[in-house]
Amino acid sequence: MSQWAIGIDFGGTAIKAAVVDKERGILTDRRVFTDTASGQRGIVVQLSALIADLYHEATRRNSAENFVGAGVGAPGAVDSRKGLLSYPPNLSGWAVVPLRDELQSCLMEREKLSIAVALDNDANVAALGEARYGAGREFQDFLMVTLGTGVGGGIVLDRKLYRGASGTAGEVGFMILDFEGPTIHAGIRGTLESFIGKKGILLLARQMIEATLAGSSAGALCGNDYSKLSPRHLQEAALAGDEVSIALWHRVGSLLGIGLANVTALMDIRKFVIGGGISAAGNLIFEPAMAKLKQSTLPSMHEGLELVPALLGNKAGMYGAAALCFG
């Protein structure tokens, strides 16, 4: 029987958790809302209880001898060697937290379980999940980009995660595209995330719609209440032929392509796996991204360029978190 582990994708809104067999993949999974009202200690207790529940459920059908630990993907800067999570977004009051050690202690004290916990950044574990089980299986080196509320990234080199000196490598969302630009994210002007994170996309959409006398069918889809406008409305409108929405996604894809071109120029990475909720726009983003990627790199860099959609969807983090334990 192969090894198995528990994979946790921990976010500010929800926690997704799964029992993952190294060979067979996910055996069972759960999703619960993050108990942010209980504060830092309350969330640690919630995570440890969830790990314990899955462990006890899984050992009814799997050998405990083949259990290798629990992996956690968390938002924010992570030092995986020290087990530290620093300033996670959407978790008020959290600073630098020794989350790995706190989880291991809580599991022992409250659940009477001695379980090794591995910790890494959520985008890194998504990249590892795609490398082991998804769209990155055929690539030796690639960059995973997650497009959603923010823009995250994870670098895989020679089939292994590249974390950098302190664990923050791959933060493509903080790549600066325009140091004098109008958008600011986390105090930094002109970042990729400020342009093509969800907030930036919706801001650009409103500006483009308001500047067009003919209007946009995306506005009609949200009842002309722009506070309710979503990327899904813009996707539907573009697929129905709405010119403003098509132009919007072309702009988003082009900005992504410029970011990828910077990565190719710096690291000679030529394979890109694109995931996250915003990536559901598909070729509306992918085609202009590839065009701009080629336009913004030397011809000598074009061989082998490939941009592919992620395959694991919102399960990538659970797969990758478990894979931290498989080694």
Full DSSP string of 90-145: T-TT--EE-HHHHHHHHHHHHH-----EEEEEHHHHHHHHHHHHSTTTT-SSEEEE
Task: Specify whether 271 is located in the same domain as 193.
Answer: yes
Write the pLDDT tens digit of every residue in 211-242. 886 678 887 788 878 788 999 999 999 999 99
Taking residues 306-321, report their average pLDDT.
Answer: 96
Q: Which domain holds residue 182?
A: 136-310
Question: Total domain count for the chain?
Answer: 2
| Closest-CA residue to 316 (of 68, 5, 18) | 18
Task: Specify whether 105 is located in the same domain as 241.
Answer: no
Task: Specify whether 141 is located in the same domain as 70.
Answer: no
Taking residues 274-290, report their average pLDDT.
Answer: 96
Task: Specify whether 117 is located in the same domain as 184.
Answer: no
Task: Specify whether 287 is located in the same domain as 181.
Answer: yes
- Mapping DSSP to helix (H, G, I), strand (E, B) and coil, where does residue 191 land? strand
Task: Specify whether 165 is located in the same domain as 189.
Answer: yes
Task: Specify whether 114 is located in the same domain as 140.
Answer: no
Q: How many CA atoms lie within 13 A of 320 on its CB side?
A: 35
pTM value is 0.90
Write the pLDDT tens digit of every residue in 97-113. 999 999 999 999 999 99
Residue 186 has pLDDT above 90, yes or no: no
Out of 16-25, 71-80, 138-147, 179-188, which region has the weakest mean confidence (pLDDT)? 179-188
Task: Specify whether 43 is located in the same domain as 189.
Answer: no
Task: Specify whether 156 is located in the same domain as 300.
Answer: yes
Task: Specify whether 163 is located in the same domain as 116.
Answer: no
- Residue 191 CB coordination number (10 Å): 28
Taking residues 200-221, report their average pLDDT.
Answer: 85
Residue 196 identity (one-letter amino acid): I
CATH number for the domain spanning 226: value is: 3.30.420.40
